[in-house]
Amino acid sequence: MKFESLCKRSAAIEAESGDLETVSLVAALLSESDEDLSTITRFIQGRVFPAWSSETLDIGTSLCHVAIARAAGPNVRPEDIENRLAERGEIGAVAESYDFGGQQGLAAFGAGGSQGRLTVSEVDSELRSLAKTSGSGSQDRKLDLLFGLFTRCSPIEARYLARIVLSEMRIGVGEGAVRDAIADAFSVPADTVERALQVTNDYGHVARVAREDGADGLTALQLEIGRPVQAMLAQAGTAAEGIDTWGEAIAETKFDGARVQVHYDGTSVSLFSRNMDDVTDPLPEIVEFVSETATVPCILDGEVIAIDENGDPLPFQAVLRRFRRKHDIAKMRNEVTLELNAFDCLHADGVDLLDEPVTERHATLRSVLDGSQAVSETIQTDSLDKIAVFETQSLEAGHEGIMLKDPAAVYSPGNRGQHWLKRKPDIETLDLVVTGAEWGEGRRANHIGTFLVSVRDGDSFAPIGKVATGITDAQLEELTTLCEPHILSESGQSIDLSPAVVFEVGYEEIQQSPTYASGYALRFPRFVAVRDDKTPETADSLDRVDRLAESQ
């Protein structure tokens, strides 16, 4: 398919406001995609690689701005791109506003008239080549490749290429719409598509299997060691709610650590974060432990926590010092000791266990790890008193609280439901996306001093408050460094940021307020931590804030 054809279809989808109509348009596009089906399924979500893949283009907004400026002509500077971005609001509209057919583009390729001739497969191939560019001078080579693509783009192609490059497709097509479109396009049940997506985490692959092999092919798809899936999530709840609903509850320790998915193929170990990033290299002691302990190939779910010299747990921030590490890993291993606490088994010895009850999965986990103390401690009871005692023991041991699980619950990747409940004894927190900021004053003038935080609201983000307390000077310096690459524009002290960084924010109360677009404001918000393990797409939603506000 011509890339321009895909872009025109994307524009039609973007212009459609109805959910059913959007699904219908996407289904029609997928059914006509031929050999480009997998690529198009990813492109319309702003993806080049499958959701499970850790591979990225590694192109920030600044590099994209430079590429657009170069393609637009010798008189256009990156600053001009930023100024036009402030006017037009998003990078696609900026790229579309320039004529990339000038002499600079012609000189780069030695021929004219190439605009509108790009194919989807060519764009995919070029972007994958760009992603593989590494080493000395890699940024310059990435810039050259991206510049070359833009010079071959018609205006509408430039619009969507810029969005794909920055993973901001913005056509109103979420994961649910793609799932339903695959079902409609190839006449397969939506729940069968959903299940296939859960075990593969690859929309492009699922679309192709649905077209070629139908529902039977989708049903045959299984977990694959080395290919991470989304983690099952918990919602807030009480022990009484759990017992009333389930009859009995499994209580287990809630660790103040970082979620990891462990993949062991019988020889090698791979570790993935909650965002499915590959974190194998920074965690060598976890790799060693699994290699020495696991009795069969497996996929495990658990948390990595940091411990002191006495084996007592350290705060979550200590774990992040290791997760962020790309260099001096041996040195950091000596400074921060990590251990695995496994609480679930998704696959063992060639058998998927997602549909088994949690009691069976936990029993298999004990067998896989040969009775190791790394398996989380649990109790199963209908007694609130016993759960209270277990919670007290967990807190006294320095852990965060307890989890409550339905003994009959299956493992549902990516879903947050009533089968897992989390109890925390301390203040409630929200995981919020930083979408704006303000430069500090006085001794903090060179650092960001205030952060505008937002909740997820569909495909956009709605502000809910500003955070300026609970942050030390050292943390401000680190947070400024973290946020600066995502600055879109500045006006005086105010900063507009692209949604990229997620903060855990504590608060005392959620109040209704006309000040923010969310309709709420946080009372006494304070910074708790950076959630490196979360993306803006997995931050807390406005629906959750609605529920929390109602339950206060």
CATH number for the domain harbouring residue 152: 1.10.3260.10
Q: Are residues 414 and 438 in the same domain?
A: no
Per residue in 344-392, pLDDT (tens digit) is: 999 999 999 999 999 999 999 999 999 899 999 999 999 999 998 999 8
Q: Are residues 410 and 494 in the same domain?
A: no
Q: Decide: 175 and 46 in contact? Cβ < 8 Å.
A: no
Query: In angstroms, rounded to a whole number, what is the distance separating the alpha carbons of residues 233 and 228?
Result: 15
Domain count of the fold of the chain: 3
Identity of the amino acid at 490? E
Q: Which of 397, 423, 449 marks a domain boundary?
A: 423
254 annotated active-site: yes
Q: Decide: 320 and 529 in contact? Cβ < 8 Å.
A: yes
Is the model's pLDDT at 113 over the cut of 50?
no
pLDDT at 110: 41
Region 504-511: what's the mean pLDDT? 88
Is the model's pLDDT at 116 over the cut of 70?
no
Q: Which of 423, 458, 487 marks a domain boundary?
A: 423
Mean pLDDT of all residues belonging to the chain: 93
In a domain, 173, yes or no: no
Query: In angstroms, rounded to a whole number, what is the distance separating the alpha carbons of residues 44 and 489?
Result: 26
Q: How many CB atoms lie within 10 A of CB 134?
A: 11
Is the model's pLDDT at 123 over the cut of 70?
yes
Query: In angstroms, rounded to a whole number, what is the distance separating the alpha carbons of residues 36 and 48?
Result: 12
Please name the residue that has the structure tokens 């949604």.
499
Q: Are residues 317 and 449 in the same domain?
A: no
Q: Are residues 368 and 297 in the same domain?
A: yes
Region 73-94: what's the mean pLDDT? 94
Backbone angles phi, psi at 129, to 5 degrees: -65, -40
Is the model's pLDDT at 101 over the cut of 70?
no
Per residue in 220-258, pLDDT (tens digit) is: 999 999 999 999 999 888 898 999 999 999 999 999 999
Q: Are residues 483 and 391 in the same domain?
A: no
Determine the structural domain holding residue 454 and report its residue range. Answer: 429-551
In a domain, 180, yes or no: no
Please name the residue that has the structure tokens 């299997």.
209
Q: Which of 114, 148, 165 marks a domain boundary?
A: 165
| CATH assignment at residue 288 | 3.30.470.30
pLDDT at 299: 99
Handedness of CA 488, 490, 493, 494 (dihedral sign): negative
In a domain, 88, yes or no: yes
Q: Are residues 448 and 399 in the same domain?
A: no
pLDDT at 104: 45
Query: In angstroms, rounded to a whole number, what is the distance separating the alpha carbons of residues 40 and 124?
Result: 9
> 254, 405, 466, 534: which is the annotated catalytic residue?
254
Q: Are residues 263 and 395 in the same domain?
A: yes
Per residue in 140-162, pLDDT (tens digit) is: 999 999 999 999 999 999 999 99
Is the model's pLDDT at 287 over the cut of 90?
yes
Per residue in 368-378, pLDDT (tens digit) is: 999 899 999 99
| CATH assignment at residue 546 | 2.40.50.140
pTM of the model: 0.77
Q: Write out the H or E segment, with its range, that includes residue 12.
A: helix 3-15
